[in-house]
C-alpha cells in the first residue's frame, strides 16, 4: 500500500513538473562516480610519487651504509699502504658491491684517483665526483653523469688518526632506482582499480537506496514535495511534535505551538525547559514510550496525545507526538461513559441479583450491586410477611431492615433485623403508599424525614450522609418493601438520572425477591407437609434405643422418610425410604408409602413380602400418574425394611435399591452387611430377598438415605468410607451423639438432597423374662399349661393377670390343637406388656365371629379379644403364631381394657 501510494505521488509530481528529468538519485550517482574516479587517480599518482621518493631514499640510505661500512672495514688502511692497493681492493669492492646490491663501490685517494671500479679500465683515472666535502670529513651525496650513466653516489672519507687518507664512493644508477618504482606501478594500479570498483559498488547501492527512498524524484520534484510537506505540516489542525532521543524538541508545527502555548524559540530546547507544559505532558514526551489517546491538561484544554517512536522502520531514534484538542469531545465521551457504566451496572444486576431463591440473600445482592457504583450506602427494608413467604397487606406498616451495605462500617443507619415503623411524613412511607419513588436532594432540609427519629437522623446528617433515593420494591402490583440509596462521599446530591437507574435496579430486585418469597412459601408448605407426614414422636418400645435426624434439601423438600414400628412379641421394624424427585408431589407420595408400610406391618409380614406389596403400590401410583398426565415417567422409590427381635437377637432385612445399612458392633468395628440389593420399588418383575443375621446386644443399626453419602463432589464409595470412619471406634457413643457426628462430618452447609438418618442401639430381653413350652398335641394338656402359666405369672409378680392369661392361653392352645397341626409351642414374654404366643405348623388362620345365643362354640376368640389389649396372627416359614398382648397393671393397680368381671358378665 505504501509503495503504491509513493508511486502515485511521484507520478503526480512529475505530471506537475514536466517530463522525466534526470532523477535526484541519478544525479547523485553521476557526481559520486566522478568524485570516486578523481579520488582513485589522485591516489594512484600519490602512490607513484611516494614510491619514487621511497625508492630514492632507500637507495641513498643503502649507499651510505655500504660506503661507511667499507670505509671503516678493518683491512682497508692496510690495503691502502700496500704497494698495489688496486690489486688488493678491486676484488673486495666487487664482492661487496654484489652482496650489498649497489651498482658500484669506488675507492680513491685524496686526489680523486680511482683504486677500484666495476669497469677495470677506469682504475687509475680521475673519478667523477665532488671530493672537497669528503676531504673535509663530511659524508657527501650527489647525482652525477658518471661512466655508468646517471648515478646517485655517496662519498665517505677514510680516516687514519683523524686524517683523511682516502675516499670511498658507493652508489646506484638512477635508472635502476626508477625501475623499482616501475615494477610497483602495476600493483598500485591494481589496488586503485579494486578501490574504484568497491567505491563504485557502494555508490551504486547508496544510489539505489536513495532512488528507492526518493521514488526517482528530481531536484525540482523534491523541492516541490518539501514545499507541500511544509504547507501540510503547518496547515493541519493537529499538533505535531518531533522529540530527539535526549528529550530536545526538534520540530513543532503551528498547531502544536498554539495548543501548548510554546515560545518562538522552543525548537532546539529541552522539553523539560518549556514552562508552558504540564508535568504529565513533559513526562510523556521525554519518556519516548508509545501512547494512544492519552489525555493531558494543557492550560484549559484537554489534549489527546498519541506518541510513537520513529526507529521502528529504520528511522532515527526519535519520537513523534500528535496532539488533538478533545475538550468538547471529552465532555461528550464523559456522558457516554456514564451511560455505558449505567448499562454495565444494569447488566451486572441482571447477573448478580436473584442468584438464589432466598429473600434475605436477594436483598443483600441488591445492596452489593448498588454500593459503591450508585450510592455510598444501600439498605433494603421488607414487609414482615415477605420474609415468611407471605404477601404483604396494605395495612402492614412495619418493615424489617433486611440488608445494609456501605463503603464504611460504623455508620449510624439502622442495623439489619430492626423492625421499623416509618412515620407518614417520611419518604419511605409516602413511597410505600403511592408506589412512586422519592428523591430527597438534601436530607438536612427534609423535616418529614427528620421527624422519624430525630436523634438518629441528626447522627446520620453529622456522619455526612446528605442525599437519599427511596424506591418501592413492587412486583405484580404488590409493594414488598423499600430500597434506599444514600450518598455521602460525593458532594453533589442525587439527580434524575440516578433516580431512573435506582428504579431499574429496584424493579429487577423486586421480581427476584417476589420469586424468592413465593419459593419460600412453597418450600415452607412442602416442608410442613413433609414433616407432618414424618413421625412426630417415636413409639415406646424396649428393643431399641433410637435416635433420628431428617434434614430437607436446601433447594426443596424431597421424599425421604423413616419410621420405627413396634411389632408383636417386642419386635421392632425399622424403615428408611426415598421417593425419587422433589417437591410436594414427592412428599405426598412419601406419605402414601409410609401409610402403606404401617398397614402392611400390621399383617406382620416378612421384609421381602412388605417390599413386594410396596412395589405393587408404587407401580399402581406410576400407572395412575401416567394416565392422568400422559407422562410415561416412573416415580420410583427405594426402601430398606428391617425387623429386630430382642428375644432371639436376630434381625431380618430386605432392601429395594437402597444403600446397605451400617452395623457398629460392641467392639467399635463397622461393617456393611452384604444384603441382596433388589430393584427399586415400582419396576416389578424381580423378587426381593430377606437376609437374617444375629447381632450382639449393644450393636447399632445405622440406616440412611443416599443424600447422606452421595454428593456431586465425591463418589459414593468415598461417602461410605467417610461414614465408616465417623462410626468406627465409638461403640459407647449414644445414638443421639452419633447422629450429630455423622451429619457434621458428611453433610455440607447447603445439602442438595434430603437426608434421613436412623441410628438404633440393640437391646436384649433378659432370659428370665421369656419362657417357652412344648405342648403335647392333646386337649388334656391345656390344664397343665394353665397351671404353668399361672405359676410363671406369680414369679413375675403379675398375679393379677394370671387368671386372664390362663383364659387367653387356654383358648389359643385349644384352637391350635383342634384346628392346627403339631408341633405346638407356647411362649410367654414379659416386657412392656405380657405377650402370649401359641405356634403350630398349620397356616390356617382363626377368624373372630359372633356366636348366636344358642351356639355352643365360637366364643373363644371373642373372649381373647376382650381380655387382651390386642391380638393377631403372623406367619412363619414353619406355620403360624397366634399372639395376644395383656396390659400390665398400672401403679394404681388398674389395667387397660375391660375389667375382668365385665368380660365374664358378658360371657354369662
SS (H, E, C) 266-294: CCCCEHHHCCCCCHHHHHHHHHCCCEEEE
Range with lowest mean pLDDT among 142-146, 548-552, 873-877: 142-146
Give the residue-averaged pLDDT of 713-727: 88
Confidence bin at 892 (pLDDT 50/70/90): low
Contacts of 413 (CB under 8 A, 6+ apart): 377, 379, 404, 406, 460, 465, 486
Contacts of 113 (CB under 8 A, 6+ apart): 124, 125, 126, 127
Task: Quote the pLDDT of residue 650.
Answer: 93
- 569/591 Cα distance (integer angstroms): 27
Using H for helix, E for strand and C for coil, what is the string for 695-712?
A: CCCCCEEEEECCCCCCEC
From its phi and psi, is residue 218 left (phi > 0), alpha (psi between -120 and 50) or beta? Answer: beta
Give the residue-averaged pLDDT of 696-718: 88
From its phi and psi, is residue 255 left (phi > 0), alpha (psi between -120 and 50) or beta? Answer: alpha
Task: Quote the pLDDT of residue 120.
Answer: 85
Cell of 737: 451423639
- Using the predicted structure, report yes or no on whether residue 854 has a pLDDT greater than 50: no
- 786/35 Cα distance (integer angstroms): 151
- Using the predicted structure, report yes or no on whether residue 632 has a pLDDT greater than 60: no
Residue entry with cell 688502511: 77
Range with lowest mean pLDDT among 233-247, 452-466, 673-687: 233-247
Whether the upstream peptide bond of residue 372 has omega within 30° of 0, thus cis, is: yes
**Average model confidence (pLDDT) across the chain:** 81
Residue entry with cell 471406634: 729
Residue 757's alpha-carbon distances to 574, 708, 777, in angstroms, are 11, 8, 47
State the burial class of residue 809 (Cβ atoms within 10 Å of its Cβ: 0-12, 13-18, 19+). Answer: buried
User: How far does CA 791 lie from the centroid of its chain?
Assistant: 81
Which range has the top average pLDDT, 49-63, 225-239, 824-838, 883-897? 824-838
- 770/793 Cα distance (integer angstroms): 11
Using H for helix, E for strand and C for coil, what is the string for 629-679?
A: HCCCCCCCEEEEEEEEECCCCEEEEEEECCCCCEEECCCCCEECCCCCCCC
Residue-level length of the chain: 908
Task: Quote the pLDDT of residue 204.
Answer: 72
- Using the predicted structure, report yes or no on whether residue 851 has a pLDDT greater than 60: no
State the burial class of residue 25 (Cβ atoms within 10 Å of its Cβ: 0-12, 13-18, 19+). Answer: buried
Element (H, E) at 382: strand 377-383
Within 10 angstroms of residue 224's Cβ, the number of other Cβ atoms is 15
Confidence bin at 903 (pLDDT 50/70/90): very low
Range with lowest mean pLDDT among 53-67, 119-133, 529-543, 737-751: 53-67
User: How far does CA 518 lie from the centroid of its chain?
Assistant: 34
User: How far does CA 500 lie from the centroid of its chain?
Assistant: 35
Confidence bin at 725 (pLDDT 50/70/90): very high
Task: Quote the pLDDT of residue 124.
Answer: 81
Q: Give the residue from 799, 800, 907 showing the smallest Cα distance to 858.
A: 907
Task: Quote the pLDDT of residue 636.
Answer: 80
- 467/441 Cα distance (integer angstroms): 5
Please tell me the number of Cα atoms within 13 Å of 798 on its side-chain side.
27
Angle at 621 between CA 616 and CA 623, to 5 degrees: 95
**CB 903, CB 862: distance < 8 Å:** no
- Using the predicted structure, report yes or no on whether residue 852 has a pLDDT greater than 50: no
**CB 499, CB 439: distance < 8 Å:** yes
Amino acid at each position: 500500500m505504501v509503495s503504491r501510494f509513493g508511486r502515485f505521488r511521484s507520478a503526480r509530481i512529475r505530471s506537475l513538473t514536466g517530463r522525466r528529468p534526470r532523477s535526484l538519485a541519478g544525479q547523485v550517482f553521476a557526481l559520486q562516480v566522478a568524485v570516486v574516479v578523481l579520488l582513485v587517480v589522485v591516489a594512484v599518482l600519490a602512490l607513484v610519487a611516494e614510491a619514487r621518493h621511497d625508492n630514492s631514499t632507500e637507495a641513498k640510505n643503502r649507499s651510505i651504509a655500504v660506503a661507511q661500512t667499507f670505509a671503516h672495514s678493518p683491512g682497508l688502511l692496510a690495503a691502502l699502504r700496500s704497494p698495489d692497493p688496486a690489486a688488493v681492493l678491486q676484488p673486495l669492492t666487487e664482492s661487496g658491491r654484489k652482496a650489498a646490491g649497489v651498482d658500484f663501490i669506488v675507492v680513491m685517494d685524496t686526489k680523486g684517483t680511482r683504486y677500484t671500479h666495476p669497469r677495470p679500465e677506469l682504475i687509475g683515472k680521475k673519478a667523477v665526483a665532488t671530493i672537497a666535502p669528503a676531504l673535509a670529513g663530511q659524508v657527501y651525496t650527489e647525482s652525477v653523469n658518471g661512466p655508468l650513466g646517471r648515478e646517485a653516489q655517496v662519498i665517505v672519507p677514510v680516516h687514519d688518526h683523524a686524517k683523511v687518507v682516502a675516499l670511498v664512493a658507493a652508489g646506484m644508477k638512477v635508472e635502476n632506482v626508477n625501475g623499482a618504482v616501475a615494477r610497483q606501478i602495476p600493483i598500485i594500479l591494481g589496488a586503485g582499480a579494486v578501490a574504484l570498483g568497491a567505491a563504485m559498488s557502494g555508490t551504486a547501492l547508496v544510489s539505489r537506496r536513495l532512488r528507492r527512498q526518493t521514488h526517482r524524484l528530481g531536484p525540482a520534484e523534491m523541492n516541490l514535495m518539501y514545499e507541500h510537506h511544509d504547507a501540510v505540516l503547518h496547515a493541519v489542525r493537529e499538533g505535531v511534535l518531533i522529540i530527539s532521543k535526549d528529550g530536545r524538541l526538534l520540530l513543532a508545527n503551528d498547531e502544536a505551538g498554539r495548543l501548548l502555548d510554546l515560545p518562538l524559540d522552543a525548537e532546539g530546547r529541552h522539553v523539560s525547559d518549556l514552562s508552558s507544559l504540564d508535568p504529565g505532558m513533559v513526562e510523556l514526551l521525554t519518556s519516548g514510550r508509545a501512547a494512544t489517546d492519552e489525555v493531558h491538561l494543557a492550560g484549559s484544554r484537554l489534549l489527546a496525545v498519541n506518541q510513537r517512536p520513529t526507529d521502528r522502520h529504520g528511522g532515527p531514534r526519535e519520537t513523534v507526538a500528535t496532539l488533538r484538542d478533545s475538550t468538547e469531545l471529552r465532555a461528550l465521551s464523559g456522558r457516554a461513559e456514564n451511560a455505558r457504566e449505567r448499562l454495565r451496572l444494569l447488566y451486572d444486576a441482571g447477573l448478580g441479583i436473584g442468584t438464589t431463591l432466598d429473600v434475605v440473600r436477594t436483598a443483600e445482592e441488591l445492596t452489593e450491586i448498588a454500593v459503591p457504583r450508585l450510592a455510598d450506602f444501600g439498605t433494603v427494608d421488607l414487609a414482615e410477611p415477605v420474609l415468611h413467604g407471605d404477601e404483604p397487606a396494605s395495612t402492614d406498616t412495619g418493615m424489617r431492615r433486611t440488608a445494609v451495605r456501605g463503603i464504611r462500617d460504623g455508620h449510624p443507619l439502622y442495623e439489619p433485623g430492626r423492625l421499623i415503623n416509618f412515620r407518614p411524613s417520611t419518604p419511605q412511607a409516602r413511597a410505600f403508599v403511592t408506589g412512586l419513588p422519592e428523591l430527597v436532594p438534601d436530607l438536612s432540609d427534609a423535616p418529614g424525614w427528620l421527624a422519624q427519629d430525630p436523634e438518629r437522623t441528626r447522627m446520620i446528617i453529622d456522619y455526612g450522609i446528605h442525599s437519599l433515593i427511596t424506591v418501592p420494591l413492587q412486583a405484580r402490583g404488590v409493594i414488598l418493601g423499600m430500597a434506599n440509596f444514600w450518598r455521602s462521599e460525593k458532594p453533589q446530591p442525587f439527580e434524575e438520572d440516578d433516580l431512573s437507574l435506582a428504579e431499574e435496579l429496584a424493579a429487577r430486585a423486586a421480581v427476584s425477591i417476589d420469586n424468592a418469597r413465593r419459593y419460600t412459601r412453597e418450600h415452607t408448605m412442602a416442608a410442613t407437609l413433609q414433616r407432618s407426614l414424618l413421625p412426630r414422636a417415636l413409639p415406646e418400645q424396649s428393643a431399641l434405643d433410637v435416635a433420628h435426624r431428617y434434614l430437607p434439601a436446601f433447594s426443596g423438600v424431597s421424599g425421604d422418610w423413616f419410621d420405627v414400628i413396634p411389632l408383636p412379641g417386642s419386635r421392632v421394624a425399622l424403615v428408611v425410604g426415598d421417593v425419587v424427585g422433589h417437591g410436594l408431589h414427592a412428599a405426598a407420595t412419601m406419605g402414601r408409602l409410609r401409610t402403606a408400610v404401617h398397614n402392611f406391618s400390621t399383617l406382620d409380614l416378612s421384609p421381602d413380602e412388605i417390599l413386594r406389596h410396596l412395589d405393587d403400590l408404587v407401580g399402581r401410583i406410576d400407572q395412575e400418574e401416567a394416565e392422568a398426565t400422559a407422562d410415561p415417567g416412573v416415580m420410583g422409590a427405594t426402601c430398606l425394611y428391617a425387623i429386630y427381635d430382642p428375644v432371639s437377637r436376630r434381625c431380618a432385612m430386605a432392601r429395594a435399591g437402597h444403600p446397605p445399612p451400617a452395623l457398629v458392633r460392641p467392639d467399635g468395628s463397622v461393617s456393611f452387611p452384604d444384603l441382596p440389593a433388589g430393584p427399586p420399588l415400582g419396576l416389578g418383575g424381580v423378587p426381593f430377598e430377606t437376609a437374617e443375621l444375629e447381632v450382639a446386644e449393644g450393636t447399632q443399626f445405622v440406616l440412611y438415605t443416599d443424600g447422606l453419602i452421595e454428593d456431586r463432589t465425591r463418589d459414593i464409595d468415598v461417602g461410605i468410607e467417610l461414614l465408616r470412619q465417623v462410626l468406627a471406634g465409638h461403640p459407647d457413643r449414644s445414638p443421639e451423639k452419633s447422629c450429630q457426628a455423622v451429619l457434621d462430618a458428611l453433610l455440607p452447609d447447603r445439602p442438595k438432597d434430603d437426608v434421613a438418618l436412623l441410628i438404633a442401639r440393640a437391646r436384649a430381653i433378659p432370659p428370665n423374662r421369656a419362657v417357652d413350652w412344648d405342648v403335647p398335641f392333646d386337649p388334656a394338656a391345656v390344664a397343665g399349661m394353665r397351671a404353668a402359666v399361672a405359676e410363671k405369672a406369680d414369679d413375675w409378680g403379675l398375679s393379677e393377670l394370671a387368671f386372664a392369661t390362663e383364659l387367653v392361653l387356654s383358648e389359643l392352645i385349644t384352637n391350635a390343637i383342634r384346628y392346627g397341626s403339631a408341633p405346638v409351642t407356647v411362649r410367654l414374654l414379659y416386657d412392656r406388656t405380657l405377650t402370649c404366643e401359641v405356634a403350630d405348623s398349620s397356616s390356617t388362620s382363626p377368624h373372630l365371629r359372633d356366636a348366636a345365643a344358642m351356639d355352643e362354640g365360637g366364643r373363644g376368640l371373642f373372649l381373647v379379644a376382650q381380655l387382651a389389649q390386642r391380638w393377631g396372627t403372623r406367619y412363619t416359614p414353619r406355620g403360624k403364631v397366634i399372639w395376644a398382648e395383656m396390659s400390665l397393671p398400672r401403679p394404681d393397680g388398674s389395667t387397660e381394657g375391660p375389667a375382668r368381671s365385665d368380660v365374664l358378665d358378658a360371657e354369662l
